[in-house]
A and B are shown apart, each in its own frame.
Chain A
Amino acid sequence: MTTTLALGTPTGAATGASAPGLGRLTRVEMRKAVDTRAGLWLLVAVGAIAVLAAVLNATLGRPDTHSFTQVSGSVAEFTSILLPVVGILLITSEWSQRTALQTFTLVPRRGRVVLAKLAAGIAIGLVAALVGLVLSVLATAVASHPVGGHPWQNGLAVVGVALLYQGLALLGGMAFGLLFLNSAVAIVLSFVLPVAWGILTGVVNGLQGVQNWLDLNSTEGPLLNNDMTGKHWTQLLVAAIVWIGVPLAVGLWRLYRKEIA
Chain B
Amino acid sequence: MRSELRPFMLPGMIAIEHLTKRYGPTTGVEDVSFICRPGTVTGFLGPNGAGKSTTLRVVCGLATPTSGTATIDGRPYRDLEQPGRRVGVLLDASAQHSGRTGRESLLVAAEILGVDRRRVDSLLELVGLDGTAAARRIGKYSLGMRQRLGLAHALLGDPGVLVLDEPANGLDPAGIHWMRSLLRGFADHGGTVLLSSHLLREVEAVADQLIIIGGGRVLAAGTADELLTGQGVVARALDPAALATCLRTAGLRYRSQPDGSLLVEGSTEDVGRAAAGASVVLTELRQPDGAGLEDLFLSLTSVDLDAAASGANSKEHAA
Name A residues whose Cβ lies closer than 8 Å to a Cβ of B: 3-5, 7-20, 24-25, 27-28, 31-32, 35-39, 93, 97-102, 104-109, 257, 259-261
Q: Please measure, in the bound complex, the distance between the C-alpha atom of A133 and the C-alpha atom of B137, giving whole angstroms.
A: 35
* B residues in contact with A7, CB < 8 Å: 119, 122-123, 126, 155
B186 touches A10 (CB 8 A): yes
Q: With A3-B126, A13-B158, A97-B98 known to touch, is A28 a contact of B62 (CB < 8 Å)? A: no
Q: Please measure, in the bound complex, the distance between the C-alpha atom of A37 and the C-alpha atom of B137, giving whole angstroms.
A: 10
User: Shortest Cβ distance from B42 into chain A, in angstroms?
Assistant: 15
User: Shortest Cβ distance from A152 into chain B, in angstroms?
Assistant: 42
Lowest 5 A-B CB distances belong to which pairs?
A36-B99, A98-B95, A14-B85, A10-B191, A17-B82
Residue from B81, B98, B111 in contact with A24 in the complex, judged by beta carbons closer than 8 Å: B111
Interface residues on B, range: 35 or more
Q: With A4-B126, A101-B92 known to touch, is A106 a contact of B182 (CB < 8 Å)? A: no
* B residues in contact with A31, CB < 8 Å: 108, 111
Does B49 reach chain A (CB closer than 8 Å)?
no
B108 touches A14 (CB 8 A): no
| CB nearest neighbor in A for B119 | A7
Residue from B81, B122, B153, B182 in contact with A18 in the complex, judged by beta carbons closer than 8 Å: B81
User: Shortest Cβ distance from B218 into chain A, in angstroms?
Assistant: 21
A260 touches B190 (CB 8 A): no
* B residues in contact with A105, CB < 8 Å: 60-62, 83-84, 89, 91
Q: Please measure, in the bound complex, the distance between the C-alpha atom of A105 and the C-alpha atom of B63, giving whole angstroms.
A: 11
* B residues in contact with A260, CB < 8 Å: 57, 62-63
Does B96 reach chain A (CB closer than 8 Å)?
yes
Does B311 reach chain A (CB closer than 8 Å)?
no
B118-162 CB contact bits vs A (8 Å, 1 = yes)? 010011011000000000010000000000000001010111110
Residue from B100, B112, B160, B318 in contact with A28 in the complex, judged by beta carbons closer than 8 Å: B112
Q: Please measure, in the bound complex, the distance between the C-alpha atom of A261 and the C-alpha atom of B95, giving whole angstroms.
A: 9
Does B104 reach chain A (CB closer than 8 Å)?
yes
A36 touches B100 (CB 8 A): yes
A8 touches B96 (CB 8 A): no
Q: With A36-B99, A261-B318 known to touch, is A3 a contact of B61 (CB < 8 Å)? A: no
Q: With A7-B122, A9-B186, A38-B99 known to touch, is A106 a contact of B318 (CB < 8 Å)? A: no
Does B221 reach chain A (CB closer than 8 Å)?
no
* A residues in contact with B319, CB < 8 Å: 261
B82 touches A14 (CB 8 A): yes
Could you write out 18 A-B pairs with CB less than 8 Å apart?
A4-B182, A10-B159, A10-B191, A17-B157, A24-B114, A35-B108, A36-B97, A37-B137, A98-B92, A98-B94, A99-B97, A101-B62, A104-B62, A105-B83, A106-B113, A108-B78, A108-B83, A260-B57
A102 touches B95 (CB 8 A): yes
Q: Please measure, in the bound complex, the distance between the C-alpha atom of A15 and the C-alpha atom of B160, giving whole angstroms.
A: 9
Scoring A11, A16, A39, A93 by chain B CB atoms within 10 A of each residue's CB, the highest score goes to A11
| CB nearest neighbor in B for A113 | B112
| CB nearest neighbor in A for B152 | A7
B185 touches A5 (CB 8 A): yes
User: Shortest Cβ distance from A13 into chain B, in angstroms?
Assistant: 6
Does B11 reach chain A (CB closer than 8 Å)?
yes
In B152-187, the 8 Å CB interface with A consists of 153, 155, 157-161, 182, 185-186
B57 touches A259 (CB 8 A): yes
Further pairs besides A13-B158, A36-B97, A101-B92: 6, Cβ < 8 Å: A5-B185, A7-B123, A15-B11, A17-B157, A24-B111, A28-B108
User: Shortest Cβ distance from B39 into chain A, in angstroms?
Assistant: 10
Q: Please measure, in the bound complex, the distance between the C-alpha atom of A12 and the C-alpha atom of B111, giving whole angstroms.
A: 19
B95 touches A106 (CB 8 A): no
Q: With A8-B155, A13-B158, A102-B95 known to touch, is A259 a contact of B189 (CB < 8 Å)? A: no
User: Shortest Cβ distance from B281 into chain A, in angstroms?
Assistant: 49
Q: Please measure, in the bound complex, the distance between the C-alpha atom of A37 and the C-alpha atom of B100, giving whole angstroms.
A: 8
